[in-house]
Structure 1
């Protein structure tokens, strides 16, 4: 394990000269003292690594020195071939580039490693979208991906779902797109609201002030301007915050973002069977909130439990809860209850007579 860490440390210093002991400690998940000991071990092994003080200090290799530690282990080659997501690369318009890169990599591998790498793709496959959902790439995703790669500010129109059954409304945002995330077959863009420029158009800042981080579903972006005279600010390069970590940001904010999507609350009364089936039809984040808030609520005389269930909208709630049939009764809001009443009447009209009587 230490040998692998020493190799990684040498490669980190080679690829990023000037890394401090603290920075290397974070990358290697060890203490600062361990980094100092490992640097000494590398020196004793003949690797000319040195620590320099001052503003341009940190760890460096001797000028012109290149480590000879880049030969791939079979397991490393297998893992590298597994790192691609074919569907995601296709959505981003990068499948051809990925195929070319794999061919180049394969050509540089020893025959034994080439066989090991190719065998991994026959044994493992990642299918990112959820079940029963046909994946489709948002039309504007490739253009948005180009803006992410180039650190270009975009102006986007976003269809925001309405509250309490209200129709969606379109808002316009000026955004510095930092990254794209694929979650359960749905693409999201993570970005920052840019600082307002003196005398300039900072865009509609309804999602927060300067520097606010925001996440948007890409399939709800209805228009995108990455460079246009009619879209002030779009197309301009922004200075990326070097400390931003997309994976860490997503992990820290994903649960909050999921809860933020649940903008409406419906009150329902569920049978025991309906309560057991609820997680299969409703949003998991909403179900978790509802069950936590109702943990002390005892069933009524008929064994039914009343919950306040957060949902994305009344339309979404109708589509989800109809799957529970008579095991759920919607109590509020009144408009959604009326919608279920009409649905029940329509079903009664369909099933109130035998099939032969309806010919």
Structure 2
């Protein structure tokens, strides 16, 4: 929209006097010719924009003039709280509002404060997605975000994955969308089922947004739902995440660890499992080894995790897992017992 672009241009010039046509074109993602036309449009609208040529030239506002366009729209103010998550803002369809909000805020700051704000932006950045995985934006995320902002009841269709080899199933629910969470590049929706508020779990549900296949309005639900005043998204997510992590821990492994192994354990095992394991730990034996019971998702997962600790851990039980580690140790001993130089032909590389 040209009107929004003109506002952003005026704010940019007010916040950063002397921006060239090329710099404005980059910021606004338009051509330099369009910058010139927009500057003329601002002048015709009464905004005293002037251009100066030369080495220190660029676009300026008349001395003493300040635009009155710095009042934040509610959506812009809300997105400032997410301004450290540019990728998330783009996923939510809020990047334009956030950029305009930052410009308005910058235009109202004293020069010294403005420089401090710009300095912090240059030094700190939050990169939420995980390494080695290309994050995908769920198709329905922007519409779901609008429902969250508006406290609008919606009907969602959701694909629930099957367990233990069972096929997935489709579920349709009417929910109150309370919030969105970005966890390691994956979006989750925290919602409440209105008809299940009196249930033991309060009717709270967490949905992976990329598994939501449809999002529809609910007939007759024209008013925003009333949010629970005691609900705090951060605290709710932390509690539910810890509870969910514990539901995955279906196996217990008894191990002995050296002091170094104990220090390294949190780096290879889930936090909930580590907390429970440390709570079960006994006193160190005469040589400093500590025995404890480690919750794990499965024997396969425990094998992969504990193998990273090498000789700092000994698996005592279950017997089948201990046998796997014994076989691994024997295979490694055989591999490293031989001198690789013995496998070279006589004469080595110089033999013709």
Q: What TM-score, normalized to structure 2?
A: 0.57
CA contact 1:157–1:222 (8 Å) conserved in 2: no
The SS at the match of 1:310 is strand
- In structure 1, what is the equivalent of residue 156 of structure 2? 154
Greater relative CO, 1 or 2 (CA 8 Å, sep 6+)? 1
CA radius of gyration, larger in: 2
- In structure 2, what is the equivalent of residue 112 of structure 1? 111
Q: Does 1:133 align with 2:131?
A: yes
Distance, in Å, in 2 between the alignment partners of 1:344 and 1:336 is 13
- In structure 2, what is the equivalent of residue 278 of structure 1? 265
Give the deviation of 1:325 after TM superposition: 0.7
The structure-2 alpha-carbon separation of the partners of 1:256 and 1:300, relative to structure 1 and needing over 3 Å to count, comes to farther
Q: Which of 255, 274, 299 is equivalent to 1:268?
A: 255
The structure-2 alpha-carbon separation of the partners of 1:139 and 1:107, relative to structure 1 and needing over 3 Å to count, comes to closer
- In structure 2, what is the equivalent of residue 299 of structure 1? 284
Q: Which of 218, 243, 262 is equivalent to 1:236?
A: 218
RMSD over aligned Cα, in angstroms? Answer: 4.2
Q: What aligned pairs does 1:141-290 form with structure 2 within 5 A after superposition?
A: 142-150=139-147, 151=152, 152-159=154-161, 170=168, 172-175=170-173, 176=175, 177-183=177-183, 187-193=187-193, 195=195, 212-216=203-207, 218=208, 223-227=211-215, 236=218, 240-243=225-228, 248-252=232-236, 254-262=238-246, 263-264=248-249, 265-290=252-277
CA contact 1:268–1:330 (8 Å) conserved in 2: yes
- In structure 2, what is the equivalent of residue 16 of structure 1? none
The SS at the match of 1:299 is coil
Per-residue Cα deviation, 1:272-305 (whole angstroms, up to 9, x for no partner)? 22112112222222211211232xx223344322
Q: Which of 340, 343, 348 is equivalent to 1:355?
A: 340
CA contact 1:266–1:332 (8 Å) conserved in 2: yes
CA contact 1:180–1:187 (8 Å) conserved in 2: yes
- In structure 2, what is the equivalent of residue 39 of structure 1? none
Give the deviation of 1:125 after TM superposition: 1.5
Per-residue Cα deviation, 1:121-176 (whole angstroms, up to 9, x for no partner)? 4444132448x834643442x5234224224232222447x6xxx66974554453
Distance, in Å, in 2 between the alignment partners of 1:99 and 1:71 is 14
CA contact 1:106–1:114 (8 Å) conserved in 2: no
| Structure 1 runs not aligned, ≥5 long | 1-69, 197-207, 228-233
The SS at the match of 1:226 is strand
- In structure 2, what is the equivalent of residue 5 of structure 1? none
The structure-2 alpha-carbon separation of the partners of 1:81 and 1:271, relative to structure 1 and needing over 3 Å to count, comes to closer
The structure-2 alpha-carbon separation of the partners of 1:236 and 1:269, relative to structure 1 and needing over 3 Å to count, comes to farther
- In structure 2, what is the equivalent of residue 99 of structure 1? 99
Give the deviation of 1:324 after TM superposition: 0.5
Per-residue Cα deviation, 1:25-58 (whole angstroms, up to 9, x for no partner)? xxxxxxxxxxxxxxxxxxxxxxxxxxxxxxxxxx
Distance, in Å, in 2 between the alignment partners of 1:169 and 1:357 is 53
The structure-2 alpha-carbon separation of the partners of 1:82 and 1:236, relative to structure 1 and needing over 3 Å to count, comes to closer
The structure-2 alpha-carbon separation of the partners of 1:170 and 1:319, relative to structure 1 and needing over 3 Å to count, comes to farther
Distance, in Å, in 2 between the alignment partners of 1:358 and 1:155 is 62
Distance, in Å, in 2 between the alignment partners of 1:155 and 1:282 is 34
